[in-house]
Amino acid sequence: MKLITQEIEKKLSKNKGDGSDKPYLKLFNPTGRGTWLITSIEGDLMFGLCDLGMGFPELGYVSLMELKSLDLPFGLSIERDMHFEPEMSIEEYSDLARAEGRIVT
């Protein structure tokens, strides 16, 4: 599965780079911990809300190539949530995630 479609990449490129941006891309680890809500991408570097499953989600950068290279159990890899439609800004998702200790969509 392609992690970023052209349509998603266009939406991400239109974001302004502030807290009002919507995360048009949700990536997750199908075998356990790890969820990312992405608001922007420049080359290999993506910015968004990152949750490694330790109770402390935070805004930050993540490498697309690094996520693609993760060797998960059962031959699986990081996946894109094909049904995700953002309902809030990244700032609102971030506030909710800090309160809950995890990303809530």
Average of pLDDT values for 30-37? 96
Question: How much of the chain exceeds pLDDT 90, in percent?
Answer: 90
Question: Is residue 34 in some structural domain?
Answer: yes
* pLDDT tens by residue, 52-65: 999 999 999 999 99
Q: Does 51 score more than 90 pLDDT?
A: yes
pLDDT at site 34: 97
- Which residues, in sequence order, are bridge partners of residue 49? 37, 59
Residue 86 within a domain: yes
d(CA 30, CA 18): 29
* Residue 105, domain member (yes or no): no
**To 5 degrees, how large is the angle CA 55–CA 61–CA 62?**
85
Domains contained in the chain, number: 1
Residue-number span of the structural domain to which 69 is assigned: 6-100
Q: Decide if 1 is inside a domain.
A: no
